[in-house]
A = this chain, B = another copy of it.
Amino acid sequence: MKRAHALSRRERQIMDILYRSGKATAAEVRDAMPDAPSYSAVRAMLRILEEKGHLRHEQDGPRYVFLPAEPRDQAKRSALRHLMETFFDGSVEQTVAALLDSETRNMKPSELDKLSRLIEEARKKGV
């Protein structure tokens, strides 16, 4: 995620698949696509993304397994920041509010407890 808008449609899709799964073979990447082209088209795109420096490959037995070049933590941070700036005026509070607002129904009390704890810890750190 070197620059927010450096990737094309299919490139973005492939990178998201890799971020979600951590790593994947070309066949796995292809299986994760709702609108998958041919196997060789997927491989060609993976090669291009590697040339561009967005991902790398490792040998896994007879085949390659692909991983994002950028550490996941870093990519997370960038993605979060970009989302906040695009939709929430850069505000953590607004972002969290939207998260809680849209997902409340699915959260257990224990999860809410955890969040409270996280906030307490953040309070200590911030002082």
Contacts and interface: CB of A to CB of B under 8 A. Distances in A.
A112 B97 CA distance: 12
Contact of A80 (B92, B99, B105): B99
A103 interface: yes
A87 B99 contact: no
A104 interface: yes
B104 A87 contact: no
A45 interface: no
Interface in A31-49: none
A103 B122 CA distance: 9
A20 B5 CA distance: 15
B102 A87 contact: no
A9 B111 CA distance: 37
Contacts of A59: none
Interface of A: 4-10, 12-13, 16, 19-20, 72, 75-77, 79-81, 83, 85-88, 92-93, 95-100, 102-109, 111-112, 114-116, 118-119, 121-123, 125-127
